[in-house]
């Protein structure tokens, strides 16, 4: 409760919390420089880090492209994709008024 929060805030001020790098504690020396946020700039990354980042980007782009193609396939928008049979909307004769139905019959006979 309240006492624990007080202890944590005191430890935080003293730099004794895990992950804090204050006082006599020194950061590990590394082969590359880091930004303030602790990330390595890509121009200073090791070849292994660069390969891992490239693999992650490749996978993310592939997943995004497959999702887009699936949406286009479902909508029938892919090049060369023919509409499914029976998917066209036909005007139902039962939904027409008597006048429209009569006009349709006359037009069919005229053709």
Q: What's residue 61's pLDDT?
A: 96
Mean pLDDT score, 96-110: 83
pLDDT > 90 fraction of the chain, expressed in percent and rounded: 16
Higher pLDDT among residues 47 and 58, named by residue: 58
Q: Give me the percent of the chain exceeding a pLDDT of 70.
A: 68
The whole-angstrom separation of Cα 76 and Cα 102 is: 35
CA nearest 78: which of 70, 87, 88, 89? 70
- Mean pLDDT over all residues of the chain? 76
Closest by Cα among 25, 17, 34, 85 to 76? 85
Which of the two residues, 6 and 93, has the higher pLDDT score?
Answer: 6
Confidence of residue 84 (pLDDT cuts 50, 70, 90): low
29 pLDDT higher than 50: no
Q: What is the pTM of this model?
A: 0.38
The whole-number average pLDDT for the span 3-31 is 70
């Amino acid at each position: 409760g309240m006492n624990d929060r007080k202890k944590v805030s005191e430890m935080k001020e003293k730099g004794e919390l895990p992950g804090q790098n204050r006082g006599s504690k020194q950061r590990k020396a590394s082969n590359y420089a880091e930004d303030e946020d602790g990330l390595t700039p890509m121009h200073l990354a090791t070849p292994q880090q660069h390969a891992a980042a490239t693999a992650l980007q490749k996978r993310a782009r592939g997943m995004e492209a497959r999702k887009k193609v699936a949406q286009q396939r479902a909508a029938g928008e892919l090049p060369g994709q023919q509409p499914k049979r029976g998917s066209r909307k036909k005007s139902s004769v039962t939904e027409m008024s008597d006048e429209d139905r009569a006009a349709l019959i006359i037009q069919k006979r005229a053709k």
